Amino acid sequence: MNVSVATVVRLLVLVLAVVVLQLAVVGQISLFYANADLLPLVALSIGLLAGPVAGATVGFLLGLVADMALLQTLGVTSLLLIGVGYLAGRYRELRDATHKLVPPIGGLVATLAYAAAFSLIQFLLGVESPVSPLVIREIVVGALLNALLIIPVFAAVRAFLRADLIDDLRPRRRPVTRLRVTT
Amino acid sequence: MYKKSVRRRRAVLALLVSLSIALLTVYFGESASGGLHAVQRGFLEVLAPLQEGANRALKPARDLVGWTGDVFDAKSENDDLREQNEQLRRQVAALETAERDARQLRALVGLNRSSRFPDGYDPVGARVIGRSPTVWYSAITIDKGSSSGVRTNQPVVSGAGLVGRVSDVSGGAARVTLITDHTSGVSAQLVPDGPNGLVKATVGNPSDLLLDFVQKGRAVRSGATVVTSGWRSSRLESLFPRGIPIGRVTRVDSDERELYQRVHLRPFADLRELDVVEVLTGQSNAAENAQVTP
């Protein structure tokens, strides 16, 4: 990823826009008793497109801004989104991240892992009410919604950062081979 | 070159993780008036107009998606509403009789209560501009803050019933902790003459609240209404005024090993679909005196 002042500004704008969109719109839409969550999806997208350092940094900023805006305990969301962005970036470095199924499967896995880790932290910090088994349904349905939502989110993030990306993650076409017909 | 890149990557990761843990530790350690909390409130002050703008501009899109989801729920909701309607019709008849008796009794003891609810409070209407995305934090952000008279711990209601209480305030926005949050507790009673208890959330299921600490042997019937009990002692006072509707009893769990029966209720307010709420301002003394009392 080319890092310039313009890149940093673009990333900050992206972080702010995503948090506002999540809190004001996406978080208020409830489908099948669950909500989609843009935050892990954007951290994942940045990790897949720009590598672990950018993924972790954007994850940290997303978490920080979200916790600030919601007056929540600072640091919890950041810590988890750093993991999502970093691991997505490492996947890009170690495996083929150009396959079309990588974003949806990644979105599903990342959201499940993020929600599970968030739940674990909440249990460690103390939960003062009984927990319904339906919490699992909410996490799973939310992850499925995110697996669908990652497709436009990934495309939008890629379009937004196209100028800064060194090698764009498009599925590579096979070279056309000419067949020589011999009679 | 490769080693340098790996070192840089690890250093950035270590720095970000350390920073997060440091924030977490400091935030937990400081009081609500601490530096990080103040920065957070200042940030919300800046972000709130943006959130409000996005909330208004994209409301049609949100409504469209919400409508699609509602269609799926409409049929089961219709059946529930028919059943509720039957129950309400019976209750209205009973209440009309009770109201007539109460009027006569009030006249006898010289009380003159206004029918306006709740007495002594000044409701401030507010729009919901944000919602926590995780199942663990049940909180919303509203577009009214201390400049509109909103203070910490004031009760928040919707047209249907109790929603929660104000947990943090900045100049132009406030955070409301919903009654479905795991930290929430509301002293409540079954009406008309039922037992008292404490309404707690069930994490993961916002349609199910729990009225706990109801003694065994006290009759609780399904369909009964639960309201805030609004108790008051010489030194402490409940955060919530008496009589705000909370929900309707759906079932009662009675375990022989437990001291208390656990009463499940469905909240009247649809806490997933809140657009507009009212903050009951004007009783700040009660709220300040009763900071730790539900």
User: pTM for the full model?
Assistant: 0.75
Task: Quote the mean pLDDT of chain A.
Answer: 86
* Beta carbons of B165 and B154 less than 8 angstroms apart: yes
Alpha carbons A152 and B265: distance in angstroms, whole number: 39
**Domain residue spans in chain B?**
122-293
Q: What is the mean pLDDT of residues B189-197?
A: 81
Q: Which residues of B, range 224-283, sit inside 8 Å of A by Cβ?
A: 272-273
Question: What is the SS3 assignment for B94?
Answer: helix
CB spacing of B204 vs A129 below 8 angstroms: no
pLDDT at B84: 80
Alpha carbons A114 and A139: distance in angstroms, whole number: 10
Which chain B residues are Cβ-neighbours of A72 within 8 angstroms?
Answer: 132, 137, 139
Which chain B residues are Cβ-neighbours of A40 within 8 angstroms?
Answer: none
Would you say residue B94 has pLDDT above 80? no
pLDDT at A87: 95
CB spacing of B27 vs A132 below 8 angstroms: no
CB spacing of A82 vs B13 below 8 angstroms: yes
In CATH terms, the superfamily for domain B122-293 is Rod shape-determining protein MreC, domain 1 (2.40.10.340)
- Alpha-carbon Rg of chain A, whole angstroms? 18
Alpha carbons B27 and A79: distance in angstroms, whole number: 14
Which chain B residues are Cβ-neighbours of A145 within 8 angstroms?
Answer: none
Amino acid at A93: E
Would you say residue A53 has pLDDT above 90? yes
Would you say residue B259 has pLDDT above 80? no
Contacts of residue B291, defined as CB under 8 A and 6 or more positions apart, other chains included, come to: B152, B153
| Percentage of chain B exceeding pLDDT 70 | 82
Q: Which two tokens stand for residue A84?
A: 């999502």
